[in-house]
Structure 1
């Protein structure tokens, strides 16, 4: 009788240890919850950032707005706008200094997918858009 009781006790202890080990193992193999923002909150953050980047620029009749310029730039390059400036009398590299410049928007985007150009990884692009038409005047990639 004593041998049977000891055997049952050992079996119960083994079941408890095995169950505890299994529960601990499954708890550790579950994916950790991370605080990944959903797409909607990311879009809201980008909208807030857009509003703050464009807050100092008032719309001008006959010109595209700051927000429209950002949208045009983001249509051609996916990423986050980090800077936007209004450039008066902008000249491209091949224009002479004495020539009349163009009023433009200069938009810098941190690319969501970096590009490789001439063996270098480029993380940013600066796009210059003509302010009355939105036409792209120039683009420059940088690290």
Structure 2
């Protein structure tokens, strides 16, 4: 008895490949916008963490009479890849009692026109800090209004 052996090459049909491509396209359409939101939120959180790092030194310098009028005086770098730190926070026109972070044009926050700055302001009488920003509320941390 003679055996018949399948001699054709195995592989995927065109319809199977099109289905896979369609599924990948649907997943990408969902994932890319979510990833962009994640990047913006992480940049805003990073900026807030950067300026919050100077709060303690700022307060200590206020009480001890030392300088607190520049980022380096409170232990912060004046700029990084996301933007620049300013003391006093001239990003909002404030002249004292504030630490500000202004996003650079290369940041995802500014390149997507979602805002420009985040500022921590200090109440001179109570010493309490408050956060303010012009960034969309969807992207700001819960601590910052």
Q: Which has the larger radius of gyration?
A: 1
More strand by share: 1
Relative to the length of structure 2, the TM-score reads 0.32
Relative to the length of structure 1, the TM-score reads 0.32
